[in-house]
Amino acid sequence: MATMDLTLELSKNVLSTNNVWMMLSTALVFIMHLGFAGVEAGFGQAKNTVNILFKNTVTPIIGIISYAAVGFYLMYPGFEVPGWLSFDGAGWNLFWFAPSTADVSAGYADGGYTYWTDFLFQAMFAATAATIVSGAIAERVKLGAYLIFTLFFVGLVYPIIGSWKWGGGALDEMGFYDFAGSTLVHSVGGWGALAGVILVGPRIGKYVNGKTVEKPGASVPLAVIGVFLLWLGWFGFNGGSVLSADPGLVSFVLVTTSLAACAGGLGGFLAAYFAFKRLDLGMVLNGILAGLVSITAGADVINPAGAVLVGFIGGILVVGSAVLLDKFKLDDVVGAVSVHLTCGIWGTLAVGIFSTNPEHSFLTQLIGVAICGLTAFISAFAIFYLLKKTVGIRVSEAHEKSGLDSHEHGIRGYTIVFDE
C-alpha cells in the first residue's frame, strides 16, 4: 500500500514538474510576439509605427481565438488511419463545454501535461505563423485585409498542414521529421509572407531605375531588443517542444538552439561584410534569427557541432536570400521571407544531413518540405488574391506616402511635445 501511495505521489510530482515547464515555455513563446513587434517596428519607418504595433497586438488575439474555435481540432484530429484530412468534432465540444478540469486532463498526453496547457502552447505557435506574414508586407497592406487573412490562415491552413506531422497524419507516417516547426511554423508562415509580398507589391520608391532604395527604420535599438526577446522566447519554443521537463533533453535542446543562434549571427556578419563591405547590424540580427529557425527542426537530434554548422549556413543563406529578393523586386520590410522561409527549408533539410537518428532521410525531408510548401503558398496566394479582388489589399498611394498612422489610427508612434 505504501509503495502504491509513493508511486502515485511521484506521478503527481512528475506531472506538476512537466506541466510547470510547459506553462513557462508557453509564456516564453508568448513573449516572442513582443519580440516580433519590436523587430517590425524597429525596421519599419516611423510614420507606420502605430499601424505595425496594432497588427502585432491584434494578431495573437485573432490567432488564439481562431485556434480555439477550429484550429486545435483540425491540427490534432485523432487520425484512425494516417491521412490528409480529419476533424475531431468531439474535441470541439470537450474544449468549450468541459464538465471539469479533471475530466479533460486525466491521463492526457501520458500524464505529461494537461489538456489546457497543450492547447495554449500550441495556440502560441499558431499565432506565430501569422506574425511572420505581418512583417513582410508592412507599411502598405490594408489592416482589414491582413486581419481577414490571419483569421483564415491561422484557423484553417496552418492547422491542417500541422496535422500531417504533429497530428499523426500522412507526413508523420512517411517519417518526415520537424521537431519544433522549421517547416510547420516558420516556412508555412514564410510561404504566406512570400504570397503577400508578390500580390501586395513593393513599397512606393523602393525600386527606382533598377536600384534598391534603402528606407531607414524607425529605431535600431528597438529592433535589437526585439531580436533578443525572440532569442529568449526560442528557449520556450524549442525547449517546450520536448513536451516534458526531461532535464537531459531540454538542456541539450537549449544548447543546440543557442549555438545555432550564435553561429547564425556570425554567418550573417561575415556574409554581409563580404557582400556589402560594411558591418551590417541588420544582417547580424537576421543572422541570429536565421540560426534559430534553421535549428528548430532538428534541435533534439543534431549534435552541438552540427548545430553550429546548421546555424552558420543559415546566417549565410539569409543574406543571399535578401539580396536575391531585391533582385526580383520583392519588398520584404523585415526580411521575414529570408529568415523564416529560406532558413525554414534549410533547417528541415538539414535534419536529413546532420541528424544522429539514422531513420531520418534527406529525401523524406525534401518531400515533406515540398508538400507543405505547395499547400501553404497556394492557400495563402488564393486568400490574398480573393481579398485583392474584393476588399483590396493595398492602401492608397496618398496614405502610403504620408504614413498609415495618421490615416488609420489618428496618432503617431513617436511624438515629442515641448512645453510652451
CATH number at residue 80: 1.10.3430.10
* Cα–Cα distance, 350 to 373 (Å, whole number): 16
Separation between Cα atoms, residue 223 and residue 43, nearest integer Å:
6
SS (H, E, C) 138-200: CCCECHHHHHHHHHHHHHHHHHHHHHCCCCCCHHHHHCCCCCCCHHHHHHHHHHHHHHHHHHH
> E strand or H helix at 403, and its extent?
none
The x, y and z cell numbers of residue 222, run together, are: 528597438
The domain of 175 spans 2-409
Give me the residue label for grid cell 507589391: 201
Q: DSSP secondary-structure letter at 414?
A: S
Cα separation, 175 vs 195, whole angstroms: 28
Residue 365: which region, alpha, beta or left (left: phi > 0; alpha: psi -120 to 50)? alpha
Distance CA 234, CA 284 (A): 17
Nearest to 71 by CA among 160, 193, 175: 160
In a domain? residue 292: yes
**Per-residue pLDDT at 10 exceeds 70:** no
Report the C-alpha gap between 296 and 182 in whole angstroms: 5
Compute the average pLDDT of residues 66-84: 89
Q: Is residue 420 part of a domain?
A: no
Is residue 415, in this structure, part of any structural domain at all? Answer: no
Please report whether residue 198 resides in a domain. Answer: yes
Considering the domain boundaries, does residue 352 fall inside one? Answer: yes
Residue 46 has a pLDDT of 92
Query: Is 64 contained in some domain?
Result: yes
User: Residue 89: its pLDDT value, please?
Assistant: 66
Residue 225, CB-side half-sphere exposure with 13 Å CA sphere:
11
419 occurs within a structural domain: no
Residue 417 included in any domain: no
Domain count for the chain: 1
pLDDT 10s digits, 143-195: 999 999 999 999 999 999 999 999 999 999 999 999 999 999 999 999 999 99
How many whole angstroms separate alpha carbon 146 and alpha carbon 416? 30
Cβ-based burial of 386 (10 A; exposed 0-12, middle 13-18, buried ≥19): middle
pLDDT for residue 175: 97
End-to-end CA distance of the chain: 80
Residue 272 has pLDDT above 80, yes or no: yes
In tens, the pLDDT along 375-406 reads 999 999 999 999 999 999 999 999 989 888 88
